Structure 1
Amino acid sequence: MIIDIHGHYTTAPAPHQGFRDAQLARLADPSRPVPRPERISDDALRESVEHNQLKILRERGGDLMLFSPKASGMEHHITDPATARDWARASNDLVHRVTELYPQHFAPVCQLPQTPGGGVADAVAELHRCVTGSGFVGCNLNPDPSGGHWTAPPLTDTSWYPLYEALCELDVPAMVHVSSACNPVFHTLGAHYLNADTTAFMQLLQGGAELFARFPGLRFVIPHGGGAVPYHWGRYRGLAVRMGLPDPASLLGNVVFDTCVYHQPGIDLLTRVIGTEHVLFASEMLGAVRGVAPETGIAWDDTKTYVDAAGLAPDQLHHIYEANARRVYPRLDARLRSQGR
């Protein structure tokens, strides 16, 4: 079985964005009425994925995708908590409906209602609602709700602990995933995302020993191949020695990376350095990078082609394509078992 753990609903029907636009308009003019999500038909949802994510998933030989709201659309930099709660709920409910229409092909992952300096109580509440009420198997956690200004404390700070307690109680992992960059020096897709992946790992290297001793069941997925981390593994090992920290490999019981790396040498290095037991298959389709590499004729985000060509043994491929996802996402494993898979 081939499980893609990183997919976003980037093709949601237009009325969903219309609700967001109405939210933002009301923040600019509070005299406007409080907007409500527009009704979107099942047929509109089917049309939005059948010619996009579902079509490509089937064409590339995938079986199932973990599906979450559009990452750049989470927009956690918007400071109003009520707006964040309503937007997260609407986005998650839409994702849930898609996964109910196509339970064999999609499983839901939720957006959290984060705001700059807003604490995690609302995020904990939405996580519980989604996991216990709608069968979500994971969440996306933004380590920088400010959108590129990095005003939040590191992921090892105690202010995050109530959320971590909920993640452990519910036995779901968090993918570390930022949203849109508001800082013009960071391009959202080409800089901010990869900066966040790298920054999160360094935070965990500095404080992860204490964090994971307190929360041994806490699991983070660092996307986009881990940012700079696998490609500078010697730097992080050297820093750990210099700073008197545990070897970065000690984090890999709680931290894993995905395969959203869009060229063959990158996948080759990722699987060799990090090891196939700590890498989960993903494409982020349809996401940041679309189109075909001119020199190969392969779609940039057709990561299965790169993984298949990485020279891995069958058991290593099994880990990347299925076993690791079932281990890191136990609620996904339970969902699949209930389907006889």
Structure 2
Amino acid sequence: MPRGKTIDTHAHILSEETMRLIGREAPSIAPKLTPIDAGFAVLEVAGVPYRPFPRGGWDLDTRLADMDAAGIDVQVLSNTPQTFLYDVDPSLNTTLAALQNDQIARTVVTYPDRFMGLATLPMQAPEAAAEELYRAMHGLGLAGAQIGSNVRGRNLDDPALEPLWETADALAAVVMIHPTQVAGQDRLRSYYLNNLIGNPLDSTIAAASLVFGGVVSRYPAIRFLLVHGGGFVPYQFGRWIHGWRVRPEPQVNLKESPEAALKSLWFDSILHAREPLEYLVASAGASRVVLGSDYPYDMGTLDCVRQVRALSISEADKEQILSRGPLALIGGGITQGTA
């Protein structure tokens, strides 16, 4: 069967121009790069270092070469989690989010055949987040937003976020949930467990909050995308459904089985092994799994296209994951706009 363009739904960017503009608005937060070697640097945001930050995170030539080598035709760009900035003054982050979104949109406009985009939002200010989502989709042509898995420790079913969900539903937005400020960090300090376990754990908490809080059911037009294969969600479908049946607590805000809400969620392909990815496709369905790389981070993979093509599934399902599904997810959320 003919192959469509491969579309990587999960890729982060922080250009040097974006860093400069953030620094002009907020010098104390200004992202800084300290070279390690030709391919890596230390990225520091608000004084907090992340290492190693690969060159493709800020350098478009490197990014495009990596995409070509990996067989990725299109990336969906989102900001780096380091620049969610939910801890800063809400009005300041409203400005910084808009600045980042303008830069992502300009990259998409400059390379329309290679990139699509998602916004970042000032989640500590839900009304402003809703307004920025509307601007990003209608004014900039972005497909929706990437948001953190919690907002300064508040779960995503927090009533304060209702204005955002109402707007996202009206726009049929893509909302990609990315782990941040993960739970249990006091027990995850060794062995890189804050990422190996903490990131999928916090994605799972976010998904459970959205499902059992009734957000997914109340706002069915929002397309929620869970990264890193959905954390632990795909492997606990049955437990959640059973728990809702036998316990009163899961029924407080959800008056029907969570099964329908769970089946509406989307998942990226980043699981790093054939067996769990095949299980994800079998349990969620190929129509709900989309290609992802987590570029440029070390817990991502540029082997993502090859991994999907190596699965023991039909060629039609592979094409669904690599091309048709991402286009349905992301392309369907793009409205008119220019940068």
**Short-chain TM bin:** 0.7 to 0.9
Aligned match for 1:113, one of 116, 122, 141:
122
Partner of 2:228: 224
Partner of 2:321: 320
Tell me if structure 1 keeps the 8 A contact 2:271–2:277.
yes
Partner of 1:273: 283
Which whole-Å deviations, capped at 9, do the CAs of 1:190-240 have from their partners, x for residues lacking one?
3442122100222233233xx344322122111110101223344334323
Partner of 1:71: 81
Shift, 1:17, TM fit:
5.9
Equivalent residue letter for 1:71: P
Structure 2 residues not aligned, in runs of 5+: 31-55
Q: TM-score, normalised by structure 1?
A: 0.77
Which whole-Å deviations, capped at 9, do the CAs of 1:118-177 have from their partners, x for residues lacking one?
x4011112112211111111201224121xxx2x2x433432221112112222111112
By percentage of residues, which structure has more strand? 2
Aligned match for 2:200, one of 194, 201, 204:
194
Where does 1:194-213 land on structure 2 (aligned, <5 Å)? 194-208=200-214, 211-213=215-217
Partner of 1:124: 130
Tell me if structure 1 keeps the 8 A contact 2:184–2:198.
no
Partner of 1:309: 310
Partner of 2:61: 50
Q: TM-score, normalised by structure 2?
A: 0.77
Which whole-Å deviations, capped at 9, do the CAs of 1:89-113 have from their partners, x for residues lacking one?
2221221221122110101110001
Equivalent residue letter for 1:65: Q
How many pairs were matched up?
297
Which whole-Å deviations, capped at 9, do the CAs of 1:29-77 have from their partners, x for residues lacking one?
xxxxxxxxxxxxxxxx99811212x222211212211101112322312
SS at match of 2:240: helix
Equivalent residue letter for 1:93: D
**Change beyond 3 A, Cα 1:168–1:256:** same
Shift, 1:265, TM fit:
2.4
Partner of 1:16: 19
SS at match of 1:230: helix
Matches of 1:100 and 1:255 in 2, distance apart?
29
Equivalent residue letter for 1:59: A
Which whole-Å deviations, capped at 9, do the CAs of 1:306-334 have from their partners, x for residues lacking one?
21111111221122122222333344577
Matches of 1:127 and 1:200 in 2, distance apart?
20
**Change beyond 3 A, Cα 1:97–1:239:** same
Shift, 1:183, TM fit:
7.6
**Change beyond 3 A, Cα 1:124–1:169:** same
Shift, 1:8, TM fit:
0.5
**Change beyond 3 A, Cα 1:96–1:72:** same
Matches of 2:202 and 2:11 in 1, distance apart?
18
Structure 1 residues not aligned, in runs of 5+: 28-44, 291-299, 336-341
Superposed CA RMSD: 3.0
% same residue: 22
Deviation >6 Å, runs of 4+:
none
Shift, 1:24, TM fit:
5.4
Partner of 2:52: none
Aligned match for 1:235, one of 239, 249, 256:
239
Partner of 2:261: 251
Where does 1:152-163 land on structure 2 (aligned, <5 Å)? 152=154, 154-163=155-164
Equivalent residue letter for 1:138: G
After TM superposition, the structure 1 stretch with the greater mean CA deviation from structure 2, 84-93 or 101-110, is: 84-93
Equivalent residue letter for 2:113: Q
Which whole-Å deviations, capped at 9, do the CAs of 1:277-303 have from their partners, x for residues lacking one?
21111111112426xxxxxxxxx4422
Matched, 1:4 2:29: no
Tell me if structure 1 keeps the 8 A contact 2:204–2:231.
yes
After TM superposition, the structure 1 stretch with the greater mean CA deviation from structure 2, 156-165 or 177-186, is: 177-186
Partner of 2:296: 286
**Change beyond 3 A, Cα 1:288–1:236:** farther
Tell me if structure 2 keeps the 8 A contact 1:218–1:254.
no
Partner of 1:91: 100
Partner of 2:41: none
Tell me if structure 2 keeps the 8 A contact 1:73–1:180.
no
Matches of 1:205 and 1:127 in 2, distance apart?
22
Shift, 1:269, TM fit:
2.1
**Change beyond 3 A, Cα 1:332–1:155:** closer
Shift, 1:189, TM fit:
3.1
**Change beyond 3 A, Cα 1:333–1:124:** closer
Tell me if structure 1 keeps the 8 A contact 2:149–2:203.
no
Matches of 1:232 and 1:26 in 2, distance apart?
39
Tell me if structure 2 keeps the 8 A contact 1:173–1:219.
yes
Partner of 1:176: 177
